[in-house]
Structure 1
Amino acid sequence: MLTTLKRIVDEVNRQPVLEKALESVAKLAKDAMHTECCSIYLADEENKHYLLMATDGLSQSAVGSVAIGFDEGLVGLVGKKEEPVNIANARTHPRFLVTPQVLEESYNSFLGAPIIHQRHVVGVISVQHSRHQVFDDSQVAFLVTLAAQLGSAIAHAEAREALDRTESPALKSRARALRGVAGSNGIALGKAYVIQPQISFASIVPRRTHNIGREIVRFKQAVKKTQQELKVLSGKMTLILPSDTSAIFDVYNHMLNDDLLGEKVQNQIHNGWNAATALKIVIEDLCSELGQMEDSYIRERITDIRDIGQRVLTNLIKKEMLSRPIPDNLILVAEEVTASMLAEIPREKLNGICSVRGSNNSHAAILARALGIPAVMGLEDLPLTNLDGRDTILDGYSGQVFFNPDAVITKEYKVLLVEEKELDALVQSIATESACTRDGTRVSLNINTGLAADFEVVRGIDADGIGLYRTEIPFMVRNCFPSEQEQCELYEKALDAYPGKPVNMRTLDVGGDKPLPYFPIKEDNPFLGWRGIRMTLDHPEILLVQVRAMLKANIGRGNLQILLPMVTSVQEVEECLRLINQAYAELCEEYQCEVPKPKIGAMLEVPAAIYQIGLLSRLVDYFSVGTNDLTQYLLAVDRNNARVASLYDYYHPGVIEALHYIAKQCKKYNVPVSVCGEMAGEPIGLLLLVSMGYRNFSMSAQNLLKAKWVLKHISLEEVESLLQQTSQVACPQQIKNLVAQKLDELGLGGFIRAGK
């Protein structure tokens, strides 16, 4: 069964046209289940119906024309119940819908299963038979399993179709948005600039061409380049392996010289496909044919065909990728955006970030907010290949991305972008003012940083210091650990940026979604693994060098504070304090004088730590709440996993209650507390935190002015009433809606959505 299922799902991914893929699925599923009919309906959310897209057994003339409402028929019942419906005599069922066009008079039994992707029913697959009997358990299990696997394959294919639709004048209608997770607020218009670490057939989005001659030339050049590479490889292998072993390269060359392979690819190009798509179709067809052969030797040739096809594909795509210039007004698109990618692109050219992986609190999203760049994360079904150079609109508020948007959408977003700039100009008017509420309650606003660019962004803005200096960022964009002197110079710049104001430097916090390229950490579950304080305690030489650099940089300045990340126990803090004191004693001896001793703080981001506030308060001078990881661990949601991104929410009642508990415990033990997580940079989160009693916050430089403006226009009494209202609500979205409504009433809605 597994082999059959895999073959059917592979067919969806292999076929360049969704309709053709569904036709193949219907036929293969019908044969595998030994039924008389198999049909596939896809959901049309706009028109609220299921459209018959493929069938093997019903009338072909009904395909593309017969639509069944979400509340109609047995197909609608399957979608509504979101579970299989198995009926021996469908005609007697009260939900049976008579549809003469489909010609299903000879069928009696019916089995339907919902096709679900990310909690949404995207379609229904059904099988029918003339017998008056229910389908057996094995048939139900097969169809349910097939439907479950089809969900993501169909969503991916529909994303490809959406992109193709924007290119074709015949198919072009109002632009369809691809939806991900809002990672960093703002609107960006520009050209997609795709960075792909690997080129594979799976990543190739089928694409048409009108320049057949050019594509044939490109294919032949790629073949020639591959032959040259094979000749070099063959020569190297002959020196170290027997001639019969290295003869595999002769087989590869024979494949490339085979007129049949070249002829098939060129035939597909003549059918209107570009060279990469044509090669994909031919190679996958050959592999599919060989995979059905009984001869094991022939089946093993699949690896050779894929390898040679991959080599030609790489030479087809690589030449284009290497020769392309970095455009102005680009929107970076990648499987996973990294700090090194951002470091390579000039800031003035970067308008937005679009990532297949990640969520609103993955490290890439945090970097985007630090740079003030709109970002959308978790676009799971985004086909990267052939996106390069497309006109793109990115909405960092709603999580929508439009590729090749139509004139109407473009005009709408250009208006919103103008309003965004007007709002930015408005908040600049209070840049030099201190942060306080309308009734005069003082609030401390600091910046989160780690990038030199942040100091430029915040120049001229009255911030109260650095609430969180992420020391790992300079580590991540290098090829080796920075020396003590290199670290010292970096830390001096940060301390000098805010003379006389506290600068909270977090000790190295890598692991999870923050790997070091020269210090790889491979774990099945990295967020619950070796990260933060756990790693640095296991490598005291790393921590000691870093702390020495911090203490040395603080000489003559005196505004350093050190934050310890990922604290889970008193013993961890005690061991860290021992190492910090050791570094301090070494420097005092080296300089023959007392060097400034910084305050030491602990981050509250692991749930266990919040129940030890009393014990920890005896050891540290202050606490800082990391709402990013605290939310992740309280909700058991990997914040970098797009599949569960919708479950990650600061405004979950459990998270709100934990934050309120922390504020009360810190007050009880008379220990200062701040919030350095990204929640503080969101107007809704900021108001809720103020209502709990927090008065010290840290956020990205881009959000600081907006936070000042929001606080300036609301009183403490109004804020505290919000906490009373939200405490009675069980749904995160309702909590957000309550606070958003208040912001709208105050004319501050432009801070939480596009426009003013």
Structure 2
Amino acid sequence: MTNPATSSPRLLLRRLREVMAGTGEAEARLNTVVRIIANNMVAEVCSVYLLRGDGVLELFATEGLNPEAVHQTRLRVGEGLIGEIARSARYLNLSDAQAHPAFAYRPETGEEIYHSLLGVPVLRGGRVVAVLAVQNRTQRHYSEEEVEALQTVAMVLAELLVSSQLFRPEDFAQTSDTTAPVRLTGQIFADGLAIGIAVLHEPKIVVDRAIADDTTYEQKRLARSIAQLREAVDAMMSAAQSVFVGESRDILEAYQMFAYDRGWLVRLQEAVASGLTAEAAIKRVQDDTRIRMEAAVDPYIRERLADLDDLANRLYAHLIERDEAKPALPDNAVIVARHMGAAEILDYDRERLRAVVLEEGATTSHVAIIARALQIPLVGNVRDARKSVESGDRIIVDGEQGQIFVRPGEEVLHAFQANLAARAARLARFAALRDQPSETLDGVRIALNVNAGLLIDMDQLQSSGADGVGLYRTEIHFMVRPRMPKIDSQTGFYRAVLNRADGKPVVFRTLDVGGDKALPYLRIESGENPAMGWRAIRLGLDRPALLQSQLRALLRAAEDRDLRIMFPMIAEVSEFVAARAILERELERHRASGAPEPRSLHLGAMVEVPSLAWQLDELLEVVDFLSVGSNDLLQFLFAVDRGNPRVAGRYDRLSPPVIAFFRHLVCKADAAGVPISVCGEMAGSPLEAMALLGLGFRNLSMNAASIGPVKEMVRHVVLTELTSYMSGMNGAQERSIRDCLGDFARRHGVPV
């Protein structure tokens, strides 16, 4: 038997439209709606729960449950199956609802005789305003077509709820004090300081009419708008060709591919065929995509959501013949948004755009990469930014500390302007040091290198005056692509990195993926402790083809040049030996091909896992250099998740255990004549870098912005005095030697 819900969706929508266009009280029309849905879907129950302003879901209409339960049955968000649907904004399709752990029994409803349940969220503006559910006595699993039908009905139902008097709009408004100063915090995605006027980035698809009168006409409108969208995206890409290189261009090309994605187009066409207008079809597909992708843990998949949202908004603009370009900006605009696609930032006048603030995102997100390429400060993961900011507000973006000041008072404003002036003076002072040697007052040369992960970062190698690249994170080249880059693509990329280095040394770290860094084309289970899971060299050894292709590309790219390769997260010597064996096989293959070999080849290991401390002698016999990754090493050393704010501050990077561990590493490496460096965050802090010098490190790698401050420290310190002072601190029992080192710096005039 064919279900009417799947055989006549347009008939169902037509009947709903008649009810919505009719007269009578809104609640009476809602009762009619649930009866129509129940009959059409051959369901014994259909119910609507409205989400009130106090966060409680109230049963407003039902066909099949006890009518006395209407306005009496209430559930908090997250309570029961209905509350779970509202919390997650995702549908539930259950053949035995009462067996689900979230099931909450409400005796007044009489629902104990019903077993199967299909419930969907009713969304408006991306937020849940209600839950629509159908139930049956028999244990049945609703088909995909029935799920699609109920989701489409939920979209139409949202119109009725918003246009009726069933709830007040202010119940759902995000309220805030729009006059008081507010300080927000977030993560630094692209550094810099800015002060300007807030502009809310709020593209919205408004559906005034959801049900189509003529589906053929709607299909033509959709097809015409898609053609216009593709033409506009192609034009944008042509204009960007001369501006972006490397990953930035790859990201925009991937965005361009989405505009031609057939799967997206088919879903839009199917939504129109079901009886929706073209506008409603775009909104329907956008909401469904958002629900599915927001639940994904894969950062690449979540990144795609921003691009697809952007494309949907652009398509809607073409559909209603609205100018796709963003409104004119004030001279000093700061864009505030939930998230942004890679291309959206290009819509704004770069001469007027001062900074961007996002509620979501990641440092490796595509919009962050584009912002860094454009040198626009960006702070992300700023919770409740859009609730706290109104268009026209004065706003300060501190991309050095990850802070946002909304409607700052005069004192904050003056202090920030003073900070801007001081920063300009500092930058001028550091710029004057660029061509000066990184040498202590007693003549000891200290190598200062940059950490990089993007081709655009290589420009900072020259501008900062760094000696080379101490850590090149190769995984970002893989993470910004929808599929595995081929060997030729990798070769060209690594060759471009070496070209930009212009003879300065570059240390390539092989892929450190897994954990919280996923690849869209490689299924990696994150596990309960992703930082200690299947990642880095473990993944490379278990999937040797991945490591082989990367090593092959590096050998090809380094013809007649020095090549330095470093393997991450080595936990025992046997792992390094196995990785080196793979490289040696690739080197033999390379030689057999007759291609030019690297001028020299140096292999190193990252010291990130404390177990290596007890195999240092054996490791030092087989490596050419060591690099200490202080970020991971210290969280493993102290068993502390540095991403967890409750425990991240429980240890200090200058605590006696860290000092003793690092001193052990340096002594062993020096005795074996093996170069050792530090490439974690410690190296970029002047005070902590001073401690590393006192322990014997002579090679540090850091963020490019830290080169100037660390070089200034180096040029003011007498290393013999510092080393003697650090030696006297052996066996210290304090929680940290930070204060003691700070006192040493002040007494000796060392800027830290």
TM-score normalized by structure 1? 0.56
Identity across the alignment (%): 33
Task: Tell me whether 680-689 or 494-503 shows the greater mean CA deviation.
Answer: 494-503
Q: Using the alignment, how far apart are the partners of 2:418 and 2:662 within structure 1?
A: 38
Amino acid at match of 2:579: C
Q: Counterpart of 2:543 in structure 1: which amino acid?
A: H
Match 2:193 to one of 187, 192, 201: 187
1:549 matched to which residue of 2? 553
- Structure 1: segments with no counterpart, 5+ residues: 1-6, 16-27, 30-156, 200-217, 241-245, 257-310, 752-756
* Partner Cα separation in structure 2 for residue 746 and residue 339 of structure 1: 48
Contact 2:568 2:605 in 1 (8 A): yes
Q: CA deviation at 1:514?
A: 2.3
Superposition pairs of residues 294-693 of structure 1, within 5 angstroms: 324=326, 379=382, 391-396=394-399, 398-525=401-528, 526-557=530-561, 559-591=562-594, 595-641=598-644, 644-647=647-650, 650-693=653-696
For residue 512 of structure 1, report the CA deviation from its aligned partner.
2.5
**1:415/1:628 Cα in 2 relative to 1: closer, same or farther (>3 Å)?**
same
Please tell me the residue identity of whatever aligns with 2:533: G
1:224 aligns with 2:208: yes
Tell me the distance in 1 between the aligned counterparts of 2:365 and 2:611.
22
* Residue aligned with 2:396, SS: strand
**Superposition deviation, residue 341 in structure 1:** 9.3
Would you say how many aligned residue pairs link Structure 1 and Structure 2? 507
Distance 2:576 2:645 in 1: 33
> 687-696 vs 359-368, which deviates more?
359-368
Give per-residue Cα distances to partners, 1:76-126, cap 9 Å, x unaligned.
xxxxxxxxxxxxxxxxxxxxxxxxxxxxxxxxxxxxxxxxxxxxxxxxxxx
User: CA offset at residue 533 of structure 1?
Assistant: 0.9
1:34-85 CA-to-partner distances (Å, cap 9, x unmatched) read xxxxxxxxxxxxxxxxxxxxxxxxxxxxxxxxxxxxxxxxxxxxxxxxxxxx
Tell whether the 8 Å contact from 1:362 to 1:640 is kept in structure 2 after alignment. Answer: no
Mapped contact 2:556–2:595 kept (Cα < 8 A): no
Structure 2 counterpart of 1:704: 707
Which residue identity is paired with 1:535?
Answer: L
State the Cα distance separating 1:586 from its structure 2 match: 0.7
What secondary structure sits across from 1:585 in the alignment?
Answer: helix
Alpha carbons of structure 1 residues 537 and 709: separation in structure 2 relative to 1, 3 Å: same
Does the aligned pair in 2 maintain the 1:475–1:481 contact within 8 Å? Answer: yes
Offset at 1:566?
Answer: 1.2
Which 5+ residue runs of structure 2 have no aligned equivalent?
1-48, 58-74, 77-170, 223-265, 281-308
Say if 1:181 and 1:645, in contact at 8 Å, map to a contact too.
Answer: no
Q: What CA distance in whole angstroms lies between the structure 2 residues aligned with 1:652 and 1:672? A: 24
Give the Cα–Cα distance (whole angstroms) in 2 for the partners of residues 192 and 490 of structure 1: 38
Separation (CA, whole Å) in 1 of partners of 2:647 and 2:368 = 16
CA distance in 1, matches of 2:313, 2:536: 41
Q: Retained in 2: the 8 A contact 1:370–1:700?
A: no
CA deviations 1:225-246 (Å, max 9, x no partner) are 544599799999xxx9xxxxx9
Instruction: Say if 2:470 and 2:506, in contact at 8 Å, map to a contact too.
Output: yes
Structure 1 pair 524/494, CA: closer, same or farther in 2 (3 Å)?
A: same
CA contact (8 A) 2:451 2:701 kept: yes
- Say which SS state the counterpart of residue 433 (structure 1) adopts: coil
Other-structure match for 1:143: none
Shift of 1:404: 3.2
Question: Are residues 552 and 394 of structure 1, via their aligned partners in 2, closer, same or farther at CA, if it must alter by over 3 Å?
Answer: same
TM-superposed deviation, 1:191: 5.5
Once the two structures are superposed, residues 645-696 of structure 1 have per-residue CA deviations (whole angstroms, 9 ceiling, x without a partner) of: 5457534544343323322332343321111112211112211111111010
Equivalent residue for 1:177, pick from 183, 196, 211? 183
Q: 1:182 to 1:469 in 2, by over 3 A?
A: closer
| Letter of the 1:728 counterpart | A
- Post-superposition offset of 1:742: 5.0
Structure 1 pair 11–665 and aligned structure 2 pair: CA distance change class (3 A): farther
Change (3 A) 1:573 1:362: farther
Residue 542 (structure 1) shift: 1.8
Q: Which amino acid aligns with 1:692?
A: L
How far is 1:637 from its partner? 3.4
- In structure 2, the CA distance between the partners of 1:346 and 1:679, relative to structure 1 (3 Å rule), is farther
| TM-score, normalised with respect to structure 2 | 0.56
Instruction: Please give the alpha-carbon distance, in whole angstroms, between the structure 1 residues aligned to 2:742 and 2:365.
Output: 24
Amino acid in the other structure paired with 1:177: R
Q: CA–CA distance in 1 between the matches of 2:651 and 2:344?
A: 26
| SS at 1:591 equivalent | coil
Aligned AA (1:541) = A
CA apart distance, 1:184: 7.8
Whether the 8 Å contact between 1:544 and 1:583 is mirrored in structure 2 is yes
How far apart are the structure 1 equivalents of 2:376 and 2:425? 17
Task: Supply the distance in 1 between the matched residues of 2:661 and 2:199 (Cα, whole angstroms).
Answer: 41
Q: Summarize deviations over 1:525-561 as a string: whole Å, max 9, x none.
A: 322222111122222222112111111111122x211
1:68-79 paired onto structure 2 within 5 Å:
none
* Distance in 2 between residues matched to 1:230 and 1:648, nearest whole Å: 67
Work out the CA distance in 2 between the residues paired with 1:740 and 1:362. 36
- Structure 1 counterpart of 2:431, one-letter code: Q
Conserved 8 A contact 1:362-1:639: no
Query: Residue 478 of structure 1: CA displacement?
Result: 2.2
Give the counterpart letter for 2:430 in structure 1: V
Distance 1:656 1:647, change over 3 A: same
Question: Partners in 1 of 2:698 and 2:342 — Cα distance?
Answer: 31
Deviations 1:711-747 (A, max 9, x none): 1122224533267569736445xx4444445555667
Q: Secondary structure at the match of 1:469?
A: strand
729, 732, 736: which one aligns with 1:728: 732
For the structure 1 residues 185 and 687, does the alpha-carbon distance in structure 2 shift closer, same or farther, using more than 3 Å as the test?
farther
Q: Is the 8 A contact 1:363 1:513 kept in 2?
A: no
Aligned CA-pair RMSD: 5.1
Q: 1: distance between equivalents of 2:214 and 2:413?
A: 48
* 1:399–1:449 CA distance, 2 compared to 1 (3 A): closer
What's the CA shift for 1:599? Answer: 0.7
Q: Contact 2:691/2:726 (CA < 8 Å) preserved in 1?
A: yes
In structure 2, C-alpha distance between the alignment counterparts of 1:722 and 1:229, rounded to whole Å: 81
> Does the 8 A contact of 2:490 with 2:553 survive in 1?
yes
Give the Cα separation in 2 of the matches to 1:680 and 1:317.
47
- How big is the shift at 1:375? 6.4
8 Å CA contact 1:617, 1:669 repeated in 2: yes
Three-state SS of the structure 1 residue aligned to 2:449 is: strand
